[in-house]
Chains A and B, each alone.
Chain A
């Protein structure tokens, strides 16, 4: 009954149970946090706007992104992944969603930022529908925990209308 094997087994099972319980509690504690993030995005300039040789529209733009995501961080937060997505519909596609920029925020100290950048990922349409097209800009974030459930939310921002002519 009281062999080494039994004791080792009991100890291992108990410590794993405690560990799993603590992980669950840590993940649950995230829901006690009610964050109040804020963000602003401006399209400063259309750098160029043209039709690719294969017939798809592509646009390059300069963006000003400022956000304060400090309140998203809790003790169970490993990092926050933040990205800016453009959304629009076309006659052929009911939804087009394109990431324009993303970033990893490793800690609370870096969660208040202002970035001046051109789009990190190419803004290419499936077709030639971008002239005069209005799209929505949304700042999304994924809170990646040290352990447990991943949380996601977003702020919808004023959209932008692309120019009517290529340039």
Chain B
């Protein structure tokens, strides 16, 4: 009987090992993604190095679903630059073009006015009531590169969360059940 129980034990230990192995693989994938994201943050100097365009206000340059790469370098922001900014009290960042810049001599405060290429008016109507200018603190980054369509998956997943859960569940199941 000792032989039988030994075999059972060895089978059990194999299973545990396999599961552990799969879990580590999964962990590696997640941490690699995290390392890449945080690494990009360090290199580009912005909190969100990659953003997805959500509106058509910059058409025909950028369309909904396109991906932009941002940097936040020491180079000053000048009129014509495409910046991503966040208005106080609102979650969704906006991608628009700077059309006016004023820089104070003494305090080094900087004031920007933006406009979407496809919008007839400048962005004062989008800013908070009484706000005439964007300041340095509102700017998240400047667009330097562009890949079309690559952001559609993100838009679909954020608008239909159920797809996200199904996808994550299926992938998790796949990783955990796959044999060598």
Chain A contact residues, CB within 8 Å of chain B: 5, 23, 27, 78-79, 81, 83, 85, 91-99, 102, 104, 106, 121, 126, 140, 142, 144-150, 152
A85-B80, A98-B79, A146-B148 as given contacts; A104 in contact with B100, CB under 8 Å: no
Residue of A nearest to B132 (CB): A126
A85-B80, A104-B117, A152-B80 as given contacts; A96 in contact with B60, CB under 8 Å: no
A142 contact set on B, CB distance < 8 A: 80, 82
User: How close is B124's CB to chain A, nearest CB, in angstroms?
Assistant: 11
Contact B61 A126 (CB under 8 A): no
Residue of A nearest to B110 (CB): A95
Residue of A nearest to B99 (CB): A99
Contact A91 B60 (CB under 8 A): no
Contact of B60 among A85, A98, A104 (CB under 8 A): A104
Q: Kindly supply a per-residue 1/0 record for chain B positions 83-122, scoring 1 wherever the CB is within 8 Å of any chain A CB and 0 otherwise.
A: 0000000000000010111111110000100010100001
Contact B103 A85 (CB under 8 A): no
Contact of A83 among B79, B102, B106 (CB under 8 A): B79
A23 contact set on B, CB distance < 8 A: 147
A79-B60, A93-B105, A147-B148 as given contacts; A98 in contact with B143, CB under 8 Å: no
Residue of A nearest to B61 (CB): A144
Chain B contact residues, CB within 8 Å of chain A: 60-61, 78-80, 82, 97, 99-106, 111, 115, 117, 122, 143-148, 174
Contact B102 A78 (CB under 8 A): no
Number of inter-chain CB pairs below 8 Å = 81
Contact A149 B144 (CB under 8 A): yes
B100 contact set on A, CB distance < 8 A: 97-99, 121
A92 contact set on B, CB distance < 8 A: 104-106
A83 contact set on B, CB distance < 8 A: 79-80, 99
Q: How far is the CA of A102 from the CA of B145 in the complex (A)?
A: 21
Query: DSSP majority for the B interface?
Result: strand
User: How close is B117's CB to chain A, nearest CB, in angstroms?
Assistant: 7
* 3 smallest beta-carbon distances between A and B, as pairs: A97-B101, A99-B99, A95-B103
Q: How far is the CA of A92 from the CA of B115 in the complex (A)?
A: 25
Given contacts A83-B80, A97-B100, A104-B61, 20 further A-B contacts (CB under 8 A): A78-B60, A92-B105, A92-B106, A93-B105, A95-B103, A97-B101, A98-B99, A99-B79, A99-B80, A102-B80, A121-B99, A121-B100, A121-B115, A126-B111, A140-B80, A142-B80, A142-B82, A146-B148, A147-B146, A150-B145
User: How close is B136's CB to chain A, nearest CB, in angstroms?
Assistant: 14
Contact of B174 among A5, A96, A126 (CB under 8 A): A5
Residue of A nearest to B69 (CB): A149
A98-B79, A148-B146 as given contacts; A79 in contact with B61, CB under 8 Å: yes
Contact of B102 among A96, A144, A145 (CB under 8 A): A96
A79-B60, A85-B79 as given contacts; A150 in contact with B146, CB under 8 Å: yes
Contact A93 B104 (CB under 8 A): yes
